[in-house]
Amino acid sequence: MIVLGGNQYGKAEIRLVRVDRSDSGSHTVRDLSVSVALSGALEATHLTGDNSAVLTTDAQKNTVYAFAAEYGVAEIEEFGLLLARHFVSSQPAISMARVSLEEYEWERIADTGHSFARSGREVRTSIATFDGEQSWVVSGLRDLVVLNSAGSEFWGFARDRYTTLAQTNDRILATAVNAQWRYAEPAAWDASYRTARDLLLTAFAQTHSYSLQQTLYAMGKRVLEGLPSVAEIRLSLPNKHHFEVDMSPYGLENKREVFYAADRPYGLIEGTILRDDAPPAGSAVWGGAW
Amino acid sequence: MIVLGGNQYGKAEIRLVRVDRSDSGSHTVRDLSVSVALSGALEATHLTGDNSAVLTTDAQKNTVYAFAAEYGVAEIEEFGLLLARHFVSSQPAISMARVSLEEYEWERIADTGHSFARSGREVRTSIATFDGEQSWVVSGLRDLVVLNSAGSEFWGFARDRYTTLAQTNDRILATAVNAQWRYAEPAAWDASYRTARDLLLTAFAQTHSYSLQQTLYAMGKRVLEGLPSVAEIRLSLPNKHHFEVDMSPYGLENKREVFYAADRPYGLIEGTILRDDAPPAGSAVWGGAW
Amino acid sequence: MIVLGGNQYGKAEIRLVRVDRSDSGSHTVRDLSVSVALSGALEATHLTGDNSAVLTTDAQKNTVYAFAAEYGVAEIEEFGLLLARHFVSSQPAISMARVSLEEYEWERIADTGHSFARSGREVRTSIATFDGEQSWVVSGLRDLVVLNSAGSEFWGFARDRYTTLAQTNDRILATAVNAQWRYAEPAAWDASYRTARDLLLTAFAQTHSYSLQQTLYAMGKRVLEGLPSVAEIRLSLPNKHHFEVDMSPYGLENKREVFYAADRPYGLIEGTILRDDAPPAGSAVWGGAW
Amino acid sequence: MIVLGGNQYGKAEIRLVRVDRSDSGSHTVRDLSVSVALSGALEATHLTGDNSAVLTTDAQKNTVYAFAAEYGVAEIEEFGLLLARHFVSSQPAISMARVSLEEYEWERIADTGHSFARSGREVRTSIATFDGEQSWVVSGLRDLVVLNSAGSEFWGFARDRYTTLAQTNDRILATAVNAQWRYAEPAAWDASYRTARDLLLTAFAQTHSYSLQQTLYAMGKRVLEGLPSVAEIRLSLPNKHHFEVDMSPYGLENKREVFYAADRPYGLIEGTILRDDAPPAGSAVWGGAW
Whether the predicted pLDDT of C290 surpasses 70: no
Question: What's the whole-number average pLDDT of chain B?
Answer: 97
What is the CA angle B57-B61-B65, rounded to 5? 165
Average pLDDT in the D65-88 region? Answer: 98
Q: What is the pLDDT of residues D138-148, one digit of tens each?
A: 999 999 999 99
Instruction: Spot the catalytic one: C45, C57, C195, C272.
Output: C57
Q: What is the pLDDT of residue B290?
A: 45
Q: Which residues of D touch B164 (CB under 8 A)?
A: 249-250
Interface contact D250, partner B, CB < 8 A: yes
Any idea which residues of A carry the catalytic annotation? 11, 57, 241
Q: Do B211 and A10 touch (CB under 8 A)?
A: no
Q: What is the pLDDT of residues B153-207, one digit of tens each?
A: 999 999 999 999 999 999 999 999 999 999 999 999 999 999 999 999 999 999 9
pLDDT band with cut points at 50, 70 and 90 for residue D111? confident
pTM for the whole thing? 0.98
Whether the predicted pLDDT of C56 surpasses 80: yes
Region of D120 please: left (phi>0), alpha (psi -120 to 50) or beta.
Answer: left
Q: What is the pLDDT of residues A142-193, one digit of tens each?
A: 999 999 999 999 999 999 999 999 999 999 999 999 999 999 999 999 999 9
Q: What is the pLDDT of residue A287?
A: 87
Q: Do A65 and D260 touch (CB under 8 A)?
A: yes
Question: What's the whole-number average pLDDT of chain D?
Answer: 97
Shortest distance, CA C251 to any CA of chain A (angstroms): 9
The gap from C-alpha D18 to its chain's centroid, in whole angstroms, comes to 21
Q: How many CB atoms lie within 10 A of CB B58?
A: 18
Short-list A108, C10, A117, A178, CA closest to D141: A117
Q: What is the pLDDT of residue C111?
A: 80
pLDDT band with cut points at 50, 70 and 90 for residue C24? confident
Interface contact C266, partner B, CB < 8 A: no
With a pLDDT cut of 70, the percent of chain A lying above it is: 99
Which residues fall within 8 angstroms of residue D211, CB to CB, at 6 or more apart? C45, C46, C49, C51, C54, D154
Q: Do A157 and B52 touch (CB under 8 A)?
A: yes
- For residues B98-125, one letter each, b for 16 or more C-beta atoms within 10 angstroms of the residue's C-beta and e for the rest, the string is bbbbbbbbbebbbebbbbbbbebbbbbb
Residues C141, B120: Cα–Cα separation, whole Å: 14
Strands (E) located in D149-215: 173-183
Alpha helices (H) along C33-120: 43-47, 57-71, 76-90
Residues D17, D21: Cα–Cα separation, whole Å: 13
The gap from C-alpha C150 to its chain's centroid, in whole angstroms, comes to 27
Short-list C217, C224, C218, CA closest to C183: C224
With a pLDDT cut of 90, the percent of chain B lying above it is: 97
Rounded to a whole number, what is the largest CA-CA distance in chain D?
75
Q: How many A-D residue pairs are in contact by the CB < 8 A criterion?
A: 198
Residues C54, D154: Cα–Cα separation, whole Å: 11
pLDDT band with cut points at 50, 70 and 90 for residue A112? confident
Residues C4, D280: Cα–Cα separation, whole Å: 15
Q: Which residues of C touch A245 (CB under 8 A)?
A: none
Shortest distance, CA C191 to any CA of chain D (angstroms): 22
Strands (E) located in D50-151: 94-104, 106-108, 115-118, 123-130, 135-148
Q: What is the pLDDT of residues D193-226, one digit of tens each?
A: 999 999 999 999 999 999 999 999 999 999 999 9
Which residues fall within 8 angstroms of residue D280, CB to CB, at 6 or more apart? none
Q: Do C216 and D57 touch (CB under 8 A)?
A: no
Q: What is the pLDDT of residues B92-121, one digit of tens each?
A: 999 999 999 999 999 999 788 999 999 999
- The helix/strand count (H/E) of chain D reads as 5, 13
Residues B244, A210: Cα–Cα separation, whole Å: 58
Interface contact D161, partner B, CB < 8 A: yes
Which of D4, D86, D286 to probe by mutation at the C interface, max C CB count within 10 Å?
A: D4
Instruction: Spot the catalytic one: B57, B61, B195, B221.
Output: B57
Alpha-carbon torsion, ordered A220, A222, A223, A224, to 10 deg: 90
Measure CB to CB from residue D149 to each of A114, A143, A151 and give the nearest one.
Answer: A114
Whether the predicted pLDDT of C288 surpasses 80: no
DSSP assignment, residue C123?
E
Any idea which residues of D carry the catalytic annotation? 11, 57, 241
Which residues fall within 8 angstroms of residue B153, CB to CB, at 6 or more apart? B168, B169, B170, B171, B208, B209, B210
Q: Which residues of C touch A251 (CB under 8 A)?
A: 161
Q: Which residues of A touch C259 (CB under 8 A)?
A: none
Whether the predicted pLDDT of D290 surpasses 60: no
Strands B106-108 and B115-118, sheet pairing: antiparallel
Average pLDDT in the B60-85 region? Answer: 98
Q: Do D49 and C91 touch (CB under 8 A)?
A: no
Q: What is the pLDDT of residue C289?
A: 47
Measure CB to CB from residue C62 to each of D164, D267, D274 and give the nearest one.
Answer: D164
* Phi and psi at residue D2, to the nearest 5°: -95, 130
Cis? peptide before D92, omega within 30° of 0: no
Which other chains touch chain B, taking contact as 3+ CB pairs less than 8 Å apart?
A, C, D
What H or E segment, with its residue span, contains residue C137?
strand C135-148
Average pLDDT in the B27-49 region? Answer: 98
Whether the predicted pLDDT of B288 surpasses 90: no
- In the three-class reduction of DSSP (H, G, I as helix; E, B as strand; rest coil), residue A226 is classed as helix
Interface contact A160, partner C, CB < 8 A: no
> Is residue B28 within 8 Å of B63, Cβ to Cβ?
no
Q: What is the pLDDT of residue A289?
A: 47
pLDDT band with cut points at 50, 70 and 90 for residue A246? very high
Instruction: Spot the catalytic one: C61, C86, C240, C241.
Output: C241
Short-list B73, A16, C152, B136, CA closest to D244: A16
Measure CB to CB from residue B205 to each of C110, C147, C254 and give the nearest one.
Answer: C110
Alpha helices (H) along chain A: 43-47, 57-71, 76-90, 189-206, 212-226
- Known catalytic residue: C57? yes
The gap from C-alpha B227 to its chain's centroid, in whole angstroms, comes to 17
What H or E segment, with its residue span, contains residue D60?
helix D57-71
Average pLDDT in the A210-228 region? Answer: 98
Which residues fall within 8 angstroms of residue D270, CB to CB, at 6 or more apart? C7, C8, C9, C37, D234, D235, D236, D237, D290
HSE, side-chain direction, 13 A CA sphere, residue B277: 3
Residues C103, C123: Cα–Cα separation, whole Å: 6
Helix axes B76-90, B57-71, angle to 10 degrees: 130
Region of C154 please: left (phi>0), alpha (psi -120 to 50) or beta.
Answer: beta
Alpha-carbon torsion, ordered A132, A138, A139, A141, to 10 deg: -130
Residues B102, B104: Cα–Cα separation, whole Å: 7
Interface contact A26, partner D, CB < 8 A: no
Query: Would you report the helix, strand and coil content of chain B in percent, each value rounded to 5?
Result: 25, 40, 35
Q: Which residues of B touch D251 (CB under 8 A)?
A: 161
Q: How many A-C residue pairs are in contact by the CB < 8 A criterion?
A: 13
pLDDT band with cut points at 50, 70 and 90 for residue C49? very high
DSSP assignment, residue D149?
S
Q: Do D251 and B162 touch (CB under 8 A)?
A: no
Domains of chain B listed by start with CATH number: 8-133 (3.10.270.10), 143-290 (3.10.270.10)
Q: What is the pLDDT of residue C4?
A: 98
Q: Do A255 and D29 touch (CB under 8 A)?
A: no
Which of C257, C260, C266 to probe by mutation at the B interface, max B CB count within 10 Å?
A: C257
Question: What is this model's ipTM?
Answer: 0.96
Q: How many CB atoms lie within 10 A of CB D209?
A: 19
Whether the predicted pLDDT of D289 surpasses 60: no
